[in-house]
Every structure is written in C-alpha cells, then in structure tokens.
Chains A and B, each alone.
Chain A
C-alpha cells in the first residue's frame, strides 16, 4: 500500500476536503463568528481520518470499538462538524445552525449535544490527557480501538500538553496518534515569535514519542504516517504536520487576522468561487 496509494482514493479524499472547506466557509460566514484559519489548516488530516483511516460507523456513533478522534484544538469545531456531517453523522443542512441559540453545533464542541463528538473541548491543552484515559480504559477492557488527537501548535504552549505527553509515553500508549497542526500562527502573531515550541521533534522525542514530520496537506504523507503509527509498538506517535493556516482560500492563507474572524458575505462568495476551481 505504501507509496502506491491509488489515485482514485486520493481524488476521493480531495473532493471530500473541498466540500469540507466549502462547509467551513459557509457555516462560519452564516454564523458571523468562528475560527476559519485553524479549521482550514487541518482539513486534510481530519478528512483522511474520517474518510479513510478511522474505524467508525456514523449510524452507530456509540459503538464501543470505534476509533476515537479528539479535537483538542476545539476552536476548529467547524472542521469537525463539517467532517461529521459529510461522513453522515447528521444532515449537512444542520451546519448552518453553527453558534446559534439552541444548536447542537456549539461554538466549541459539546460531546453531550452532538453525536460523533467524542469529547467537549475548547479550553486548550486538555485533549491529550483525555486520550490517555481512553487508551488506559481500552487496555483494561482488551479493546483495540485507536485514538487520534489533533493539537494546535500554539496549544503546545499549555503546560498540560506536556504532562499528558509524559504520561502517554510512561504508560506506553501506542494506540494514541497525535497530530500537531503546525500552521505557525496563533491569535497574537507567529507562534515562533509569541512563545516558540521549537524544536518540536526533539521535544516529543525527548518525551519518548515516535515522531514523524510531514506535509499536512498531502494525503499520501498523512496516510503513510498513520500507517507507520499503526506499526509502532510501545510508544505513542506524534505526526507534526506542516500546514498553512487558512489553506485553500488565497486571501486567508498564512494571515494571522483570519484566526477568529468570520468572512463577510462577499468574502464567502470569493472563497467559495476559489474552492470550486482551485485544488488546494
């Protein structure tokens, strides 16, 4: 399989990614608030997980043996919601209720309201420890599901991430695969300038993790990296995915201003027009 992933699969995933990007722009535009930049940067990672790599059943979201995905960077909720809707957990029309009073699509994910959301997140730094707990529970029960976590690069500034990184390695939680959505931007500016988490690979390696660095927009690399994680025994794997914040919408790409600002109607139209012709 490695190196020879068929073109059909890649094209299928690219089309899903395009739809998910459209959804992200549309729903945040409609909501009038939200986080487009960090939602768009993680699209290929989440698309590859939900449409190819993870063992899930949208008709049976509580299936005990399903793989789990925890969006530790909870502000990318539109990305998760779009992926869940396109995967069949709920009708895509519901995406338009994002952030509205009474909606199941809360500003940050609420696992009690929406099927498919594994954990409520939003306060940064907490997803990895929760993944650790899930992995320990699975080990006690002899279940073989895997747990994927999406971390932001700015999020790595939270000390709790490193508490959890230490614990995952200590308990040899090899069912955990963490992605770092390394888009290099956070609210106040460039991650490296605000509070540099570099050198990231060395840090994770020093904490006992298997470390891979990839292009986070390349499906082949994402899939191969996850396959590598599946083969890795006795330690967790982190995939440091080099990404572009706002990826796929030219005027949002690598722009710090698009972290938490909704596009205006005319910007929504421009973005969708681009997404309809341009392969990200």
Chain B
C-alpha cells in the first residue's frame, strides 16, 4: 500500500500499451492531454491522436464518427466537461446509436482540488448511470484502471471510465483480474459491509482495519462497475452483514449509494448509510482538505459504520 499512483496516470500508460496491441485504438482530447495523460499516446502514435481543441461537443461527435468508421476511440477530457458540457452528444451521438466510444474522463470528484467547483464533477456518475446503453466503470487504483482500459476496449459499446487526478494507493497486485459487471470482495464482514468505488476503496479498507481493532467485522466490496451493477454481490453483502455503508467521491444523489439503495429497497431492505458529497458543489482547497470538509475520510466511513449498526 506504500506506492501511490493516480488512475489517470495508469490510463495514459495503458493507452500506449493498448495502442501497440490494437491498431483500431485512436485517442481524442480537448486540449487537456497533459492532464488526462493522453499525451503519452499522442507522442507514441501521433497520427492516431486527435486534439479537437477546447470543443467538447465536437470531441464526442468526432469520436462517434470514428467509431462508425470501425475505430475504437477513447475520448478524454475532465469528467465535468465530458458529462456536463457534452451530455447531449454523449446521449444522442454515442449512447443512443450504441457506438463503440470509450469516454475516459479524468479529474472526477472533488479531489481535483484547487481548481474549485467549476471543475469538480459531483454528479457525473448520476448522469452517466441514467443513460441507456452506457457502461460505467470506476476503478479504485492504478492496477484496476489499467485493466479497465483493456476491458473497455474489448467490450463493444459505449463505456464511461471515471478516473482521478490524485495519487491513490495501489491496492491490487498484478494477479488481480478486473471484469466488467463484477464487484470484487476485498474482505468479508459479518457486521457491516462497506461498498465503495474509486478513491474511497482504499479508505474503506483503512476504516475496516481500524474497526476490527474495535471488535467489529467489517467487509469491503469494491464496486468498480457502477453499471451494470453487480446485484448479486450487493445482495450477498446484505445477506452476510447486518447493515451496509456505501462510500463514493460523488454526490450522495444518483451514484453508488443510490444504486445500492435501489437494490436493497426492492430486494432486501437493510440499514444503509451513504458516505458521499452532500447535495452541494465543492470549492477550492487541497484534495485532503476537501475530503475532510466534505465528509470523505476513513473517519467518516467509520462513523457511518458505527451509526448504521445502531439502526440495526
């Protein structure tokens, strides 16, 4: 757990690897290639990289056209622009015709940090989850991000890949196998299962370890595919634990917490606490400061676990 690397960095490197394996892979960016790390691919395969300028609608539409032409386009920009600025293009030109476009959005959530609310996507998962035909992936670390890139390329159809700016602990070894639609059990727990995604998975592990010291059995389930969500895993968690906690770097509206709540409400009502950004925009600050202020620390997860057990 000592090594830290951002999922965007893993994405950038994986693209180069993928580019060598599959000629159909092309990459588009909207003037953020240094930040999204598509610059690595651009350097290696200049003729297969298209900078569309600061024009996200054109970015998504052009990616759709490249997919129609038999390519596997990865379109990158910040999550807030990919899903907000170009929502209609993603919906109508990519998802509706079910084109083989991979939307790899970096700088998701509030860990964007100092840039502030205009650049912090708190609602991208809610938006993408509601779009028919869209696969939504939220890798937890660099190993999973790399594999998610390969899995997305292999899958035929639109994929939203949510990536982060901040360096995060590497939790998986090279023997890990990511699969679209399958959650990964990091740990089983009799008292509470924390279902987490993205940067919150490492924090959930930390919370789980601490709580074990208090005599609680707390599981951690990495829900790296938000859609289609691994319903069986959610129900298994509900079966094995007394209560559940979700943890996501996203608004508590419409993301992982909502998806889990929907399943529980219909199939197996259980006490649930959602850790996430309350219904609010972010602000400027360091990622750590923001995680603290908006309730996204291991401490917040621990608090939620203790509280949800009281409901039981």
Contact = CB atoms under 8 A, between A and B. Distances in A.
A120 B92 contact: yes
Given A129-B61, A133-B62, A164-B58, A120 B68 contact: no
Interface string A141-180: 1000000000000000001100110110011000000000
A27 interface: no
A280 B91 CA distance: 39
A227 to B, nearest CB: 25
The 6 closest A-B pairs by CB, nearest first: A133-B65, A137-B69, A129-B61, A163-B58, A163-B55, A130-B65
A120 B93 contact: yes
B89 interface: yes
A45 interface: no
A129 B65 contact: yes
A134 B66 contact: yes
A95 B60 CA distance: 32
Interface in B3-60: 26, 47-48, 50, 52-53, 55, 57-58, 60
B67 to A, nearest CB: 7
A165 to B, nearest CB: 9
26 contacts: A110-B96, A119-B64, A119-B68, A119-B97, A120-B97, A126-B89, A126-B93, A129-B60, A129-B89, A130-B62, A130-B65, A132-B58, A132-B62, A133-B67, A133-B68, A136-B62, A137-B69, A140-B71, A160-B89, A163-B52, A163-B58, A164-B61, A164-B62, A167-B52, A167-B55, A170-B53
B47 A118 contact: no
Contact of A134 (B48, B69, B91, B96): B69
B23 to A, nearest CB: 9
B88 interface: yes
A167 B58 contact: yes
A171 B49 CA distance: 12
- Interface bracket on A: 20 to 34
A160 B57 CA distance: 6
Nearest to A132: B62
B68 A122 contact: no
Most-contacted residue by chain B among A125, A136, A164, A171 (CB, 10 A):
A136
B86 to A, nearest CB: 9
A133 B69 CA distance: 8
Nearest to A170: B53
B68 A129 contact: no
Nearest to B75: A133
A123 interface: yes
A167 B57 CA distance: 11
A196 B8 CA distance: 43
Interface of A: 64, 110-112, 118-123, 125-126, 128-138, 140-141, 159-160, 163-164, 166-167, 170-171
A43 to B, nearest CB: 25
A133 B97 contact: no
B219 interface: no
B62 A167 contact: yes
Contacts of B58: 129, 132, 160, 163-164, 166-167
Contacts of B70: 64, 137, 141
Interface of B: 26, 47-48, 50, 52-53, 55, 57-58, 60-71, 73, 88-89, 91-93, 96-98
Contacts of B65: 119, 129-137
Given A111-B97, A122-B92, A129-B61, A134 B52 contact: no
A236 to B, nearest CB: 14
Contact of A141 (B63, B69, B88): B69
Contacts of A122: 92
Contacts of A112: 97-98
A97 to B, nearest CB: 20
Nearest to B69: A137
Most-contacted residue by chain B among A110, A112, A130 (CB, 10 A):
A130
Contacts of B67: 133
B45 to A, nearest CB: 10
A133 B57 contact: no
A130 B92 CA distance: 11
Given A110-B96, A131-B65, A166-B55, 20 more contacts: A112-B97, A118-B68, A119-B64, A125-B57, A129-B58, A132-B61, A133-B65, A134-B68, A135-B65, A136-B62, A137-B26, A137-B68, A140-B48, A140-B71, A159-B57, A160-B57, A163-B55, A167-B52, A167-B55, A171-B50
Contacts of A64: 70
Nearest to B66: A133
A122 to B, nearest CB: 7
A149 B261 CA distance: 45
Nearest to A158: B57
Contact of B66 (A120, A123, A137, A166): A137
A134 B99 CA distance: 13
A141 to B, nearest CB: 7
Nearest to B60: A129
Contact of A130 (B48, B53, B64, B98): B64
A65 to B, nearest CB: 12
A130 B66 CA distance: 8
A136 B73 CA distance: 11
Contacts of A126: 57, 61, 88-89, 92-93
Nearest to A134: B65
Nearest to B73: A133
Contact of A138 (B52, B69, B93): B69
